[in-house]
Amino acid sequence: MMLWFGLASLLMVFAGLTSAYIVSSSRDDWSAELELPTMFYISAIVIIVSSVTYIMAKKAIEVNKPKASLYWLVLTLGLGVLFIIMQFNGFAQLVSQGDYFTGPSSTIKSSYIYVLAGAHIVHVIAGIISLLVVLYNHLKDKYSATDFLGLSLGATFWHFLDLLWLYLVVFMTFVK
């Protein structure tokens, strides 16, 4: 039950941030021509694939294939780390375009993009920590075909983060 309260809280935080983004977009100094970095779109594909690998890990444990489950969990971890690296590459793309988080050459829109993506990265790090706990428990043989609640809860959090990133990318692409 606590996971659902946590997810609802995260949803409210990002709803507040995207609401502020919408309100701010009506300002005269809003930079509508700023485009999202290509890396943000590519990372969306990576995070979708990571959800698929987490699903495969869960399916493998459900049919009592712990080695296959471990493989999929490690692959999910690698994709999560790759996602974060790609986000920082996206930030580097923004900087190379002259779009900074703060300072004299920053814009309100660029600052919001950094805040939204940065807040999401923080939560993906939390998801990676959760995944590491799942991996640790998996290596300790705590999951079986009939007992995999921890893995399921970790997967739910991970899928939420994936859907959240897809929402943010679509939102930032179309709300100019």
Kindly state the tokens that stand for 66.
């712990």
- Going from N- to C-terminal start, the domains of the chain cover 38-174
Report which of 173, 133, 159, 132 is spatially closest to residue 21, judged by C-alpha positions: 173
For 51-56, the CB contacts below 8 A with 24+ separation are 51/158, 51/159, 51/162, 53/79, 54/154, 54/155, 54/158, 54/159, 55/155
User: For the chain, which residues score pLDDT lower than 70?
Assistant: none
User: Tens of pLDDT along 8-36?
Assistant: 999 999 999 999 999 999 988 888 788 89
Q: What pLDDT is recorded for position 34? A: 86
Cα separation, 81 vs 127, whole angstroms: 10
Q: What pLDDT is recorded for position 106? A: 86
Cβ of 50: how many Cβ atoms within 10 Å?
26
Q: What pLDDT is recorded for position 14? A: 96
Class of domain 38-174: mainly alpha
Global confidence as pTM: 0.93
